[in-house]
Amino acid sequence: MEEVYIIIPARIGSTRLLNKPLIDLNGKSLIQRVYLNASKISKNVFIATDSEEIEQNLSKYTSKVIMTSSDHISGTDRIFEAAEKLNLNNDSLIINLQGDEPFLPLDAITQIIEKYQSIQPDVITLSCPFNDISDLNNPNCVKVSTNIDNYALDFLRISDEKNLNKHIGIYGYSLKILKKLVALNPSNREIEFKLEQLRFLDNDFSIYVSHYNNIVPHGIDTDSDVKKAKEILKNL
């Protein structure tokens, strides 16, 4: 069985939330919470960043911070540099865990790891039910449509299509596939909708969508999300 590495890309320069990884969520930063959550299921959890502030913020909990170039245009590019520095082999399974998903259930992470190891698609990702009807018109809530075999047909920001699910920002792929993905130029649709996964689809890479049956709280993208996250944490 291939080794599994969870790599969390993190950068300071968010366009919607200033210094997003360092936002305080009831005593811990956002990036600390994502790291600590993932580290419950794996010893191979690393943060790939270009920020010394993020490295310092995490120093209380881990030294597994890999400094990467500030020139990367995507988290995937940042993860590839980190994977190279870790000297991973081509068959290693890399889990790209977004640094703004503090409430992703651990069994959702293990679900895509197990499913990937079972079917070996080019790329695997996750979906879940919508939190409520307002998600359909929320461009920050990405939707995914799939075929009968659960392979992605499209990713959308706003749609009135039926049979859609909420897309969760986590991906799995081998280093071999990752090398091919980072060699691709951004596709026109990726640039238009600011959805990197469209680059994969537009270049005919298969993306298997593993469906998680429970609702997952939204990732942290706006000030409103921060307020909701703090309320969730109060009630845990």
pTM of the predicted model as reported, rounded to 2 decimal places: 0.94
pLDDT of residue 87: 95
27-42: pLDDT as tens digits: 999 999 999 999 999 9
Exposure on the CB side of residue 194, measured as CA atoms within 13 A:
7
Token pair, residue 66, equals 């890999």
pLDDT at 18 over 90: no
Helix (H) or strand (E) holding 233: helix 223-234
pLDDT of residue 28: 95
**pLDDT classification of 14: cutoffs 50, 70, 90:** low
122-163: pLDDT as tens digits: 999 999 999 888 888 889 899 999 999 999 999 999 888 888
Tell me the C-alpha distance between 220 and 209, whole Å: 22
Q: Of 48-52, 157-161, 207-211, 223-227, which gets the smallest average pLDDT?
A: 157-161
pLDDT at 16 over 80: no
Task: For residue 9, list its beta bridge partners.
Answer: 48
Closest to 83 measured CA to CA, from 11, 168, 174: 174
Token pair, residue 70, equals 């500030």
User: Could you say which architecture CATH assigns to the domain 4-234?
Assistant: Alpha-Beta Complex (3.90)
Radius of gyration of the chain (CA): 17
Contact 64, 134 (CB under 8 A): no
